Structure 1
Amino acid sequence: MTTAMPPAVRRAARTVRADLPGLATVPTVGRFAVALVVAVLGSLAACAVVAAAAVALVPSLAGYDHLHVGDWAKLTVIGVVLACFGWPFAAAIWSRARLPFLVLTIVVTVASFVPDLWILRQGQPALGVLALAVMHVAVAVVTYPVLVLVAPQRRRAVPARAVREPGDTRPVKTT
């Protein structure tokens, strides 16, 4: 972590264990693009399965507006795209970003239940709202592994001066 940062920023970074590796560790653009498409399509498919299962299990939900594809699909795409763009940011903040990104994924997923609770309070059917909450979880379960596995965080390149042959006991020069 650079000392050119203001002390308050350095303290905040230490608090969340951010070592700020920078752009060298973000996923490659190509792999990120593939992960984004796979995450969006996988999340849409998962939500379609949840909606179909909800209607099959509770036929009275067949007319429930929030379970129609036009209602949940656009919000799913927006949410997944935003989540996907969070992954490179996490990779630039933490050298080992998978765990902090998992924690953020869980926090955001829990926060996504707030609108569900609000519409439940407005009188929406409880089982329909439960299906929506399950969709939020399904999106997280699809998106997180797709991002970290399809577009993995790159490792920082080891400086040439730090590479040694086996058996070399000379001290490494640092500048």
Structure 2
Amino acid sequence: MIEVELSPEEIEVGKAIAVARRTSAIDLGRKHRYGATDASVDMDKETRGVLGEVACCKWLGVYWPNFGLVVGDVDCGVCEVRAVSKASHCLILHDRDDDNEAHVLAVVGPLPLVHLAGWIVGRAGKRLKNWSDPQKSNRHAYFVPPADLRPMEELPLYLAAKEEAAA
């Protein structure tokens, strides 16, 4: 697990972007994906997600492209990030998540710390054994346990190989 310490400025900018994203979604009348309700998607979750992206980009040494509000772009430009509040929580994948994209699990907090727990390629995480609905809310997804994730140290090698193959 990689520990990333965010600066006070990174945290404040992250919080501001989270507010902007949430406000924009409300203004545009966007519906939540995968059946979430307004009550289940709060500002803490939005902020956690943004700070996970910031930490992942910081560790990878790449520019964080999501200062804008573009829906559908890859979180870090090179990989997706799923942020959680506890190290025991799983990385969640959905059918529409890119099978060839790397997905990173970021455990946010206590701030200023973010722990990058590991990563997995979409198709590797979308296994029947991971298909579940733990909240019994008819919102099935793939829940990949942290123990099944690849070490973060391998991610730059995967991303470099992927970039080379695309060239």
TMscore range, shorter length: 0.3 to 0.5
Higher RCO (C-alpha under 8 Å, 6+ residues apart): 1
- Higher CA-based Rg: 1
Between Structure 1 and Structure 2, which shows a larger proportion of strand residues?
Answer: 2
TM-score by length of 1: 0.31
Between Structure 1 and Structure 2, which shows a larger proportion of helix residues?
Answer: 1
